[in-house]
Amino acid sequence: LRTGVPEVILAEGKDPAAVRAIYEDYLSRGEQLIASRVTAPVWAALEDLGDKLIHWEKARVVATKAPEPDPKRSTVLVISAGALDTPVAEEAAVMSELFGNPTERLYDVGVAGISRIAVELGRLDRAGILIICAGMDGVLPSLVAGLALQPVIAVPTDVGYGSAFQGVAPLLTMLNSCAPGVAVMNIGNGFGAAVHATKINRLLTRTEPA
Amino acid sequence: LRTGVPEVILAEGKDPAAVRAIYEDYLSRGEQLIASRVTAPVWAALEDLGDKLIHWEKARVVATKAPEPDPKRSTVLVISAGALDTPVAEEAAVMSELFGNPTERLYDVGVAGISRIAVELGRLDRAGILIICAGMDGVLPSLVAGLALQPVIAVPTDVGYGSAFQGVAPLLTMLNSCAPGVAVMNIGNGFGAAVHATKINRLLTRTEPA
Amino acid sequence: LRTGVPEVILAEGKDPAAVRAIYEDYLSRGEQLIASRVTAPVWAALEDLGDKLIHWEKARVVATKAPEPDPKRSTVLVISAGALDTPVAEEAAVMSELFGNPTERLYDVGVAGISRIAVELGRLDRAGILIICAGMDGVLPSLVAGLALQPVIAVPTDVGYGSAFQGVAPLLTMLNSCAPGVAVMNIGNGFGAAVHATKINRLLTRTEPA
Amino acid sequence: LRTGVPEVILAEGKDPAAVRAIYEDYLSRGEQLIASRVTAPVWAALEDLGDKLIHWEKARVVATKAPEPDPKRSTVLVISAGALDTPVAEEAAVMSELFGNPTERLYDVGVAGISRIAVELGRLDRAGILIICAGMDGVLPSLVAGLALQPVIAVPTDVGYGSAFQGVAPLLTMLNSCAPGVAVMNIGNGFGAAVHATKINRLLTRTEPA
Amino acid sequence: LRTGVPEVILAEGKDPAAVRAIYEDYLSRGEQLIASRVTAPVWAALEDLGDKLIHWEKARVVATKAPEPDPKRSTVLVISAGALDTPVAEEAAVMSELFGNPTERLYDVGVAGISRIAVELGRLDRAGILIICAGMDGVLPSLVAGLALQPVIAVPTDVGYGSAFQGVAPLLTMLNSCAPGVAVMNIGNGFGAAVHATKINRLLTRTEPA
Amino acid sequence: LRTGVPEVILAEGKDPAAVRAIYEDYLSRGEQLIASRVTAPVWAALEDLGDKLIHWEKARVVATKAPEPDPKRSTVLVISAGALDTPVAEEAAVMSELFGNPTERLYDVGVAGISRIAVELGRLDRAGILIICAGMDGVLPSLVAGLALQPVIAVPTDVGYGSAFQGVAPLLTMLNSCAPGVAVMNIGNGFGAAVHATKINRLLTRTEPA
Amino acid sequence: LRTGVPEVILAEGKDPAAVRAIYEDYLSRGEQLIASRVTAPVWAALEDLGDKLIHWEKARVVATKAPEPDPKRSTVLVISAGALDTPVAEEAAVMSELFGNPTERLYDVGVAGISRIAVELGRLDRAGILIICAGMDGVLPSLVAGLALQPVIAVPTDVGYGSAFQGVAPLLTMLNSCAPGVAVMNIGNGFGAAVHATKINRLLTRTEPA
Amino acid sequence: LRTGVPEVILAEGKDPAAVRAIYEDYLSRGEQLIASRVTAPVWAALEDLGDKLIHWEKARVVATKAPEPDPKRSTVLVISAGALDTPVAEEAAVMSELFGNPTERLYDVGVAGISRIAVELGRLDRAGILIICAGMDGVLPSLVAGLALQPVIAVPTDVGYGSAFQGVAPLLTMLNSCAPGVAVMNIGNGFGAAVHATKINRLLTRTEPA
Ligand SMILES: Nc1ncnc2c1ncn2[C@@H]1O[C@H](COP(=O)(O)O)[C@@H](O)[C@H]1O
Ligand SMILES: Nc1ncnc2c1ncn2[C@@H]1O[C@H](COP(=O)(O)O)[C@@H](O)[C@H]1O
Ligand SMILES: Nc1ncnc2c1ncn2[C@@H]1O[C@H](COP(=O)(O)O)[C@@H](O)[C@H]1O
Ligand SMILES: Nc1ncnc2c1ncn2[C@@H]1O[C@H](COP(=O)(O)O)[C@@H](O)[C@H]1O
Ligand SMILES: [Mg+2]
Ligand SMILES: [Mg+2]
Ligand SMILES: [Mg+2]
Ligand SMILES: [Mg+2]
Ligand SMILES: [Mg+2]
Ligand SMILES: [Mg+2]
Ligand SMILES: [Mg+2]
Ligand SMILES: [Mg+2]
């Protein structure tokens, strides 16, 4: 599998002991290993390896090596609508950093904080790629994609209740965005957004055929 | 049935001859009769009564009497996102007029025309009640409800394709609006929006118990 | 965000310590802060602030200031179908009071208590705005909207089982109400109903442009 | 197949010539043959047999023999909510007659005609079995089942638009009826309702084990 | 509400103390009170009233008075497909008894026990009304309705996994039964089946207008 | 693509002229070319090649060469529930023959013809592989798989109306069959069933590794 | 029920004591009894019978007798896409063995391990029947069915999150496979796959009519 | 609306005369105007302007000016699975050209043509951005994203039948792709894919802040 990003395992639901074994193996070989959706029981099995591992708790991400952003790439700006969207936004942001992208955050600028977007238009303009995480009505990507010339990657979250249907409502909003060109990820898939952003950035810096 | 609005029949799917018979009856008694969703075959059966009837083609509405707006009521402002939302918006606007409300229109101000909303904030502010019709991502009501203090009535339309699912996408957007208090109607139900607006206006002018 | 109502945060799912921090901030500034969907863990973090806070347990609402109903507004009557609909109905009622509306309750008048509606028609008529909460078949708003001239705001609840699909069944009933003009909220969104009612009431009392 | 009712074929979608052939066969043997959902092309193939056949156009039913109601059975009362529900109600009523039940009709008593139900309570009480056909919000069976002690058989219709989803909305309403014991049929299946009613009536008159 | 059956409350989700209070009230008045879907916490609050109450554990039913079957009625035969369908089948059977119907059980005769149906055809024939509870593919009602002349009431259960979708699969099977006249209840609604059966039986024995 | 069956094109929706061009090419090379779901406009473009082509109208299949059943294979028995299921059953049967399998048909043995199954148990037993096509409740595969030791391949059809949802109801019935081991195809995919049967038969006759 | 496989009970949700009682009965008679979906509470009730029982923990299967593969049958190769698909794959593999098939495993060859498929083409070719278990996008069966001539049985799993909808996404992928002839089982139904494979193998070795 | 692409109108469903009027306006001003989803009735109204307009029939696109690809941008490679996916693929390709991107096509390389992908790996590698259009099982993007380092934009099409549900099946496959970073568009939205690709390309060539 040629994906251009380091090995990432999906930890959720996996046997904690098995995940630990893989980590010990990668640590012994001094290689980068990233885990996403690290639940409490998985982290419990990894915890005493803790000083050899980096753990982003909000992002539910664990890695053996620190991020090394590549300054030649354009900045990935991760935007979130509300406080409850943070885990997904953080997964996107931390992964983006781990994959080598300069990464910034602009959180909590959904309906209740929309005025902050106006204030931050400069940051939006300086960014190269926008990742936007939103639940409930999921309108933020439509809004931002109407203001910005950059590629917009939208990630629906399961924030909301009732007819939000665990993220289906914002997923549909994003797929049907009136502002054209919004690229959509699976509900809660901040990781996928980071991979797509990395592939875009890689295109900017490649010197030979992909 | 006490609804506070004149008799309105849903013409679509009904036997055209039967609809004509009802119209002849109401005309002979000089009473108001309104029909919604008047399809081509129904209109064909009514057409030669035409000078006794008023036909709003875009709105698919027919009535025996002209609207008489009551100046004591607050203005109903009907807003639409795109050109294809016009039939639903017109159904809301014509019905609102027929039910006695001063009614204005602000059309085509969705994503592609959002800048016009900024220009028209004055009209928004002067209005008493906002009816907003939108398809595709259905984000317009969320947006306007974040800018306006008036009651917002949202009507999803079946405009769009693929995962818009004949109006389900904007319906869910509206039900999950981050801007609170958006009141939602059935997909394509401009008539219901007009009835709700009329009930609000009636409350403003009532002098005795409802 | 101009909504005409005080700040309301959605507590459910939020970090209890973070919610407490916001409360301490608002308390120190002597400002109103309302939280909805306050779950047990969130309340546990707030409990020792208890004498400075008001907690409506059934409604799952917490506020820093008591309601002050404005007698110039019309009465909001909150109606519920069954005992299990009470949390949603109480969210609507408490929020309505906190937003300044004279508010009454008429609970448990669904199918099993429908005869009580007949008895209470006077209260219905004196009310200005009706909020109706119902689960299962969700028929109560259709019924009441056929008897009353007031604006009807319908809130589906997740009461029921099997093909009630966590509130989808009453949501669809309300969206398709044969009695026209029923305004629908998201499943369980008593808060939104109170905001819409407040916007209607505000229209009644405004003296300058909104 | 022991169903206790005569052979009924579902004509819709069948090859018209094949349906005609079956009819010629049954006519030649002098036996009863009933067809449901007889579409225009099927009827076109049967039309010149017309004087040997009985055709209920609204009901879309064709039979070789006239109904012979059995006075020992209790009356089946077929109730419909609106004019557009008539085809389904008529399918139920004509089939009920063809299966030997005394059958009455009470049409167009939905929300817009609910006051007529009050007037007709006597007929309701005299009936033995109620078949209720309704689309849109499908609330009529809940309402009637709260007033009547008879078995209630509910048939959702595809009347409505948008989120009525071709009859899904009234189907769910009926399945979740707060008034207990409502027996539900497939969307548009007036025939099934008539069979169930016939089986109930047969139980009343059987003298030996079924 | 005229339903012809005693008061039945839905206990699940209700405040256990509130349920106990109602029971104490009915016990003090010596009246029948039936509760369905009695969960462990509700029963815990009732337990020490235990000798005054009857508790059917499998059926999750509690009553203040024992059943008194009326021998003039026809027998209700409750049939289940598999062992996991027993709670729903028992709810139907116990309710049927409590409502005064002679009631029999024929359990576990689904696909794995279909041969037993053949053996029990006599019991089927002697019964007056059939209630059939099945999950997974829900084929049992189609099968039995093809063999029996009695009214068939089908109750889908949430037994199964994956694409059984918590009872949606058998619900659809039953609604679309090729054997005509199958009357369908909500998923898991054994109580509703018993009410419908009681209404049928009541018709058999009524002497005056309903 | 190694599928072990000749080239089959899906004609429906394709440009008729383009389909004709492919046929002319295959005919000129004397090779077998099979088309499925051949609609009227496609056939119109092929018709004058008619004597060089074989057209199974009911099955909507066209081929350049006649079937040559291989007697060493086991018999594929195609079973259908009702007359309207014939096109799908014929697609399965004709394809099965074209792929070299001895093929038999047993049609119209669903609920209305179930007694014929009993009569035909011998044919069932002699067959090697069973393909069963059914719409509406889709119960036939469950039933047959409880009687037969052969591999059962189930094909749901879109026969039915209302909550049959264009084949979703029988699809779910088949996926949740209580009789284990039923292999399910897409709605209307008789072709796929024939391919699976052919792969089973090929296994019986292979002499070297696949 | 003639299924050609030993008695298998679905343990999940059953009363553990009741399951134990059945096991004691079968053990006393020395007969094979297999249980699938054995949850922790069920196993707790069986554990002290442990030396008389065989427990496959990953597969959640318990049996009274060890598998005895029949060398005359063709090999069933169970393939899985990812580590989280193992429980379903193991259910298929262990059941396949218990039903007498020579059985091999090829796990973790989905997208992240696809290169291993290339390496293992020999094993694929030597196998007689392929069972493929995959969640998320469920593309593995389409892929393998394009490379292999054997019958392919696809089992979707509930692995994934968000719009994987507990296995609906891979279920639809498999039902719509462009590589024809993929036979699909219910989500998570490894057992059904093993039964279908056994029926295929039985066909290979039968000497008299089924 | 700042989107970085010329004005594109969605023609489908619009009044043909109105579309013509807009075209006359843009032609008179010598500006680029692009229309997507140009249906037959819309084209009929434009046809006699034909020599001033460019019409891509397969793509259903009309423009007033020819594409002028910018050689400094990276190549957009549009890939399709089958012949029926061509209209969507062509919409993507023509729009991509009209927006200034060097654009290539690689069509019909789905399951039936997968071997051609192997042959064309060079072209894949030389491309900068991949747009992949597929219906039915929608597996092609998963497959290609496992082989290629470029950004992958996936567009589901409504090709298929039955449980493909008009494009829902491939939409879900793409959203759940095991190969990470696949960016998904609405069903049939080739236009959106072209906009996203253009935004990526624009990033490559921008010299000042966006
Ligand atoms: N129960 C509720 N349902 C829906 N929206 C709510 C609810 N409570 C608060 N909100 C809205 O949620 C937003 C607050 O989000 P947050 O800042 O994340 O707490 C505000 O726009 C509120 O109007
Ligand atoms: N309108 C209808 N809805 C549902 N089933 C019907 C209908 N009309 C006839 N049937 C049943 O369909 C079967 C007849 O199918 P067929 O022999 O294909 O015409 C019989 O079992 C009838 O009871
Ligand atoms: N009726 C059908 N249902 C599903 N797939 C089919 C059908 N007919 C042909 N196919 C498959 O569709 C592909 C042919 O696609 P095409 O080249 O576009 O005609 C081949 O993989 C066939 O196996
Ligand atoms: N095929 C298409 N799919 C989705 N959106 C489109 C399409 N074509 C044009 N649009 C967008 O639809 C809007 C044009 O709407 P209108 O002004 O109503 O034609 C613009 O925002 C376009 O970007
Ligand atoms: Mg949002
Ligand atoms: Mg919109
Ligand atoms: Mg209710
Ligand atoms: Mg109705
Ligand atoms: Mg069953
Ligand atoms: Mg069938
Ligand atoms: Mg997979
Ligand atoms: Mg494809």
- Pocket of ligand 4 contains residue B114 by CB under 6 Å: no
Q: Which of B82, B107, B69 is nearest to B194 (CA)?
A: B69
Q: Which residue has the higher pLDDT, A104 or C110?
A: A104
Distance of alpha carbon E132 from alpha carbon E77, whole angstroms: 8
Write down the pLDDT at residue B208.
46
**To the nearest whole angstrom, how far is the Cα of G200 from the nearest Cα of chain E?**
21
**What is the C-alpha separation between D138 and C177, in angstroms, rounded?**
8
What CA–CA distance (Å, rounded) separates E182 from A44? 54
Q: For residue E112, is pLDDT > 90? A: no
Q: What is the pLDDT of residue A118?
A: 78
Q: Domain check: are C200 and C138 in the same one?
A: yes
CA of G87 to the centre of ligand 2 (A): 43
N-terminal to C-terminal alpha carbon distance within chain F: 14
- By C-alpha distance, which of E138, C163, E176, D157 is closest to F169? E176
Whether E149 lines ligand 2, by a CB cut-off of 6 Å, is no
CA distance F47 to F38: 11
Pairwise CB contact (< 8 Å): E161 & G186: yes
CB-nearest partner of E203 from D145, D150, D209: D150
Domain-located, residue H70: no
Question: Per the domain annotation, does A69 fall within a domain?
Answer: no
Which of A1, A126, A186 lies closest to H176 in CB terms?
A186
Ligand 2 atom 3: residue of nearest CA: D189
pLDDT of H206 above 80? no
pLDDT in tens, A39-58: 999 999 999 997 999 999 99
Q: If residue G124 lies in a helix (H) or strand (E), which one and from where to where?
A: helix G121-126
Phi-psi region of F105 (alpha: psi -120 to 50; beta: other; left: phi over 0): beta
H106-122 tens-digit pLDDT: 999 987 667 778 788 88
For C140-170, the pLDDT digits (tens) are: 999 999 888 999 999 999 999 999 999 999 9
Tokens of B56: 């709003």
Nearest to C176 among D160, D176, D178 (CB): D160
Residue nearest ligand 3's atom 14 by CA: F9
* β A61-63/A34-36 pair status: antiparallel
C37 Cβ below 6 A of ligand 1: yes
Interface of D with F (CB under 8 A): 1, 10, 12-14, 18, 37, 156, 158, 166-168, 171, 186-189
Q: Which residue of H has its CA nearest to A4?
A: H149
Residue G166 resides in a domain:
yes
Q: What is the pLDDT of residue B146?
A: 86
Residue of E29, E52, E57, E32 lying closest to E42 (CA atoms): E57
Please tell me if the CB atom of residue F112 comes closer than 6 angstroms to any atom of ligand 2. Answer: yes
C-alpha–C-alpha distance, residues F153 and F79, integer Å: 10
Pocket mutation for ligand 1, best pick of B143, B178, B184 (most atoms within 8 Å of C-beta): B178
Residues 6+ positions from E104 with CB-CB distance below 8 Å: E75, E76, E77, E78, E123, E127
- Contact at CB, G176 and F184, closer than 8 angstroms: no
Whether the per-residue pLDDT at B112 is higher than 70: the answer is: no
Q: Are strands G54-56 and G61-63 parallel, antiparallel or unpaired?
A: antiparallel
Q: CB of A80 within 8 A of CB of A89?
A: yes
β-pairing verdict for H34-36 and H61-63: antiparallel
Average pLDDT over residues F127-134: 98
**DSSP state, residue E110:** S
Structure confidence by residue, pLDDT tens digits, H50-102: 799 999 999 999 999 999 999 999 999 999 999 999 999 999 999 999 999 99
* F113 and F193 fall within a common domain: yes
Q: Do D140 and D169 touch, CB atoms closer than 8 A?
A: no
**What pLDDT, in 10s, does the model give residues A43-97?**
999 999 979 999 999 999 999 999 999 999 999 999 999 999 999 999 999 999 9
Determine the average pLDDT of the residues in D98-108: 97
Q: Compute, in angstroms, the gap from residue B111 CA to the centroid of ligand 4.
A: 10
- Rounded Cα distance, H193 and B154, in Å: 30
In chain A, the DSSP E strands lie at 8-10, 34-36, 54-56, 61-63, 76-80, 103-106, 129-134, 152-156, 183-184
- How far, in Å, CA of H145 to CA of A2, rounded? 8
User: Cβ–Cβ of B177/A137 closer than 8 Å?
Assistant: yes
Nearest residue to C60 (alpha-carbon basis) of C77, C79, C40 = C40
Helices (H), F65-189: 86-98, 114-119, 121-126, 140-145, 168-175
The arithmetic mean of pLDDT across residues E161-185, rounded, is: 97
* pLDDT tens per residue, range C63-82: 999 999 999 999 999 999 99
| DSSP string over A169-187 | HHHHHHHT-SSTT-EE--T
Q: In whole angstroms, give the CA distance from residue G206 to residue D29.
A: 47
Inter-chain touch F167–H163, beta carbons under 8 Å: yes
Q: What is the pLDDT of residue G209?
A: 44
The domain that contains A168 carries what CATH number? Answer: 3.40.50.1970
C116 confidence band (pLDDT: 50, 70, 90) = confident
pLDDT class of C115 with cuts at 50, 70, 90: confident
At B115 the pLDDT is 75
Of E114, E146, E169, the CB nearest to F176: E169
Residues H91 and H161 in one domain: yes
Q: Which residues surround ligand 5, an ion (CB under 5 A)?
A: A 81, 110, 134, 136
Confirm whether G137 is domain-assigned.
yes
Q: How far separated are the first and last CA of chain E, in Å rounded?
A: 14
Beta carbon of C8 within 6 Å of any ligand 1 atom: yes
Tell if the CB–CB gap between E10 and C164 is shorter than 8 Å: no
D210 within a domain of the structure (yes/no): no
| pLDDT tens sequence across A106-147 | 999 987 667 778 788 889 999 999 999 999 999 999 999 988
G159 shares a domain with G132: yes
F37 and F112 fall within a common domain: no
E14 and E116 part of one domain: no
pLDDT band at E1 (very low <50, low <70, confident <90, very high): low
Span H150-177, pLDDT tens digits? 999 999 999 999 999 999 999 999 999 9
Query: Of all atoms in ligand 3, which is nearest to the CA of residue G178?
Result: 21
Contacts of C103 (CB under 8 A, 6+ apart): C69, C75, C76, C77, C78, C93, C96, C97
What's the pLDDT tens digit per position in F167-199?
Answer: 999 999 999 999 999 999 999 999 999 999 999
Question: Can you give the residue range of the structural domain that contains B112?
Answer: 76-205
Residue whose structure tokens are 């190694």 = F2
Give per-residue pLDDT as tens, B47-66: 999 799 999 999 999 999 99
Find, among G150, G83, G169, the residue nearest to A22 by Cα: G83
pLDDT per position as a tens digit, C120-141: 888 999 999 999 999 999 999 9
Residue C70 lies in a domain: no
Residue E35: the pLDDT is 98
> Where does the pLDDT of residue H1 fall: very low under 50, low under 70, confident under 90, or very high at 90 and above?
low
Chain B partners within 8 Å of D114 (Cβ):
1
Q: Quick one: which atom of ligand 2 is closest to the CA of D189? A: 3
Predicted local confidence at residue E120, as pLDDT = 86
What lies within 8 Å, CB to CB, of F163 at 6+ separation is D167, D168, D171, D186, D187, E172, E175, E176, F169
Instruction: Supply the pLDDT for residue A1.
Output: 57
Counting ligand 3 atoms within 8 A of each CB, the residue from H111, H115, H136 with the most, and so the one to mutate, is H111
**Of D39-48, E37-46, F114-123, G42-51, which gets the smallest average pLDDT?**
F114-123
Of the partner residues E83, E112, E161, the one whose CB lies closest to the CB of residue G14? E83
Distance CA D125, CA D144 (A): 11
Span from the CA of D178 to the centroid of ligand 7 (angstroms): 6
Are the C-beta atoms of residues B41 and B68 closer than 8 Å to each other? no
> Left, alpha or beta for E30 (phi > 0: left; psi -120 to 50: alpha)?
left
Closest Cα of chain H to G26: distance in Å? 42
Q: Are residue F47 and residue F130 in the same domain, yes or no?
A: no
Of D143-152, E155-164, F24-33, which gets the smallest average pLDDT? D143-152
Q: Please tell me the distance from the alpha carbon of residue H139 to that of residue G176, in angstroms, as a whole number.
A: 10
Query: pLDDT tens, F7-16?
Result: 899 999 999 9
Give yes or no for residue D142 having a pLDDT over 90.
yes
pLDDT of residue E205: 84
**Out of C10, C14, C187, whose CB is closest to A162?**
C187
Contact assessment for residue D89 and residue D107, using Cβ atoms and an 8 Å cutoff: yes
Pocket of ligand 3 (CB under 6 A): F 8-10, 36-37, 189, 191; G 178, 180; H 82-83, 111-112
Q: How far apart are CA F96 and CA B107, in angstroms?
A: 58
The yes-or-no verdict on residue G113 having pLDDT over 80 is: no
Residue F113 has pLDDT above 80, yes or no: no
Work out the number of other CB atoms within 10 angstroms of the CB of residue E105: 18
Q: What is the pLDDT of residues D12-70, one digit of tens each?
A: 999 999 999 999 999 999 999 999 999 999 999 999 997 999 999 999 999 999 999 99
Q: What angle do CA G13, D180, E189 make, to 5 degrees?
A: 10
Sheet hosting strand C61-63, strand order edge to edge = C8-10, C34-36, C61-63, C54-56
On whether the CB atoms of residues G145 and G110 are closer than 8 A, the answer is no
Residue G210 lies in a domain: no
Confidence (pLDDT) at C147 = 82
- F80 and F170 inside one domain: yes
Q: Tell me which residue of F95, F57, F80, F84 sits closest to F190, measured CA to CA.
A: F95
Please, which chains are in contact with D (at least 3 CB pairs closer than 8 A)? B, C, E, F
* Chain pair C-E, CB pairs under 8 angstroms: 30
Say if ligand 1 is within 6 A of residue C18 CB: no
A45 phi-psi bin (left φ>0, alpha ψ -120 to 50, beta other): alpha
Number of domains comprising chain B: 2
Does one domain contain both F200 and F149? Answer: yes
Nearest to residue A72, comparing CAs of A209, A208, A206?
A: A206
Do H49 and H81 share a structural domain? no
Does the pLDDT of residue D208 top 80, yes or no? Answer: no
- pLDDT average, residue stretch A3-32: 93
Q: Are B and F neighbours with ≥3 CB pairs closer than 8 A?
A: no
The answer to whether the CB atoms of C83 and E167 lie below 8 A apart is no
Integer angstrom CA distances of residue D3 from D194, E111, F84, H168: 12, 22, 21, 40
- pLDDT exceeds 50 at position A209: no
A interface toward C at CB cutoff 8 Å? 83-84, 111-112, 114-115, 159, 161-164
pLDDT one-digit tens code per residue, F152-168: 999 999 999 999 999 99
Specify the ligand 2 atom closest to the Cα of D91.
Answer: 1
Alpha carbons H114 and F1: distance in angstroms, whole number: 7
Residue B192, helix vs strand vs coil: helix
Q: Render pLDDT for B22-52 as a digit per residue (tens, 0 to 9).
A: 999 999 999 999 999 999 999 999 999 979 9
Residues facing residue G33 across a β-bridge: none
Question: What's the pLDDT score for residue C1?
Answer: 58
Distance from CA of G116 to the nearest CA of H (A): 13
pLDDT at position A112 = 65
Q: DSSP letter for F75, please.
A: P
pLDDT of residue E102: 97
Q: A140: closest CA among A180, A95, A170, A160? A: A170
Tokens at residue A6, please? 């380091």
Taking the CA of residue H82 as reference, the ligand 3 atom at the shortest distance is 18
Q: How many angstroms does the Cα of residue E117 sit away from the middle of ligand 2?
A: 25
pLDDT of residue F207 exceeding 80, the answer is no
Mean pLDDT value across residues G147-166: 96
Are H123 and H149 within one domain?
A: yes
Q: State CA C35 to chain mean position distance.
A: 13
Mean pLDDT of chain E: 93
- Tell me what percent of chain A is helix, strand and coil, each rounded to the nearest 5: 45, 15, 40
Given a contact cutoff of 8 angstroms between Cβ atoms, the answer to whether A106 and A145 are in contact is no
Burial class (CB within 10 angstroms; exposed 0-12, middle 13-18, buried 19+) of A32: middle
pLDDT of residue C210: 41
Could you say which of H63, H88, H104 is where a domain stops?
H63
Please give the distance, rounded to the nearest whole angstrom, from the Cα atom of residue F138 to the centre of ligand 10.
4
- Same-domain check for residues G80 and G50: no
Could you tell me if H43 and H96 are in contact, meaning their C-beta atoms sit under 8 angstroms apart? no
- The encoded tokens of residue C108 equal 């448990």
Contact D173 C110 (CB under 8 A): no
Q: How far apart are CA D97 and CA E78, in angstroms?
A: 30
CB–CB of B76/B197 below 8 Å?
yes
Distance B172 CA to ligand 6 centre (A): 12
* C172: its two tokens: 């669809």
Does any domain span residue D141? Answer: yes
> Which residues on H lie below 8 Å from A143 (Cβ)?
none
The mean pLDDT of chain D is 93
Chain-centroid distance of CA H164 in Å reads 21
